[in-house]
Amino acid sequence: MGDTYKMITLVGTSAESYEDAINGALETASETVRNLNWFEVKEFRGRVADGKAAEFQATIMVGFKVEGA
């Protein structure tokens, strides 16, 4: 029998980059969710202030293995 996985949606934010937004979301989630295996970027967006990018936001789907399945 194969493994079973669950997917959750996370939105990470950063003042620096999309990569930092993704890594921040994954690091925070890994504090309470075990067995994180992969992520898929669903959307990039941001906030503009004074004509420049002021915040980077990344929506990601994260998959993790369900224990005991």
State residue 40's pLDDT score: 98
Which one is predicted more confidently, 69 or 28? Answer: 28
Average pLDDT, the chain: 95
State residue 8's pLDDT score: 97
Answer CATH for 5-65 from 1.10.10.10, 3.30.1660.10, 3.40.50.720, 2.60.40.10: 3.30.1660.10
Q: What's CA 32's distance to the chain center, in Å?
A: 14
Global pTM value? 0.88
List the domain boundaries for the chain.
Answer: 5-65
Report CA-CA distances (Å) from 2 to 5, 19, 65, 66, 68: 10, 32, 11, 11, 12
Question: pLDDT by residue (tens digit) across 1-31?
Answer: 788 999 999 999 999 999 999 999 999 999 9
| SS3 of residue 62 by DSSP | strand
Binned at pLDDT 50, 70 and 90, residue 41 comes out as very high
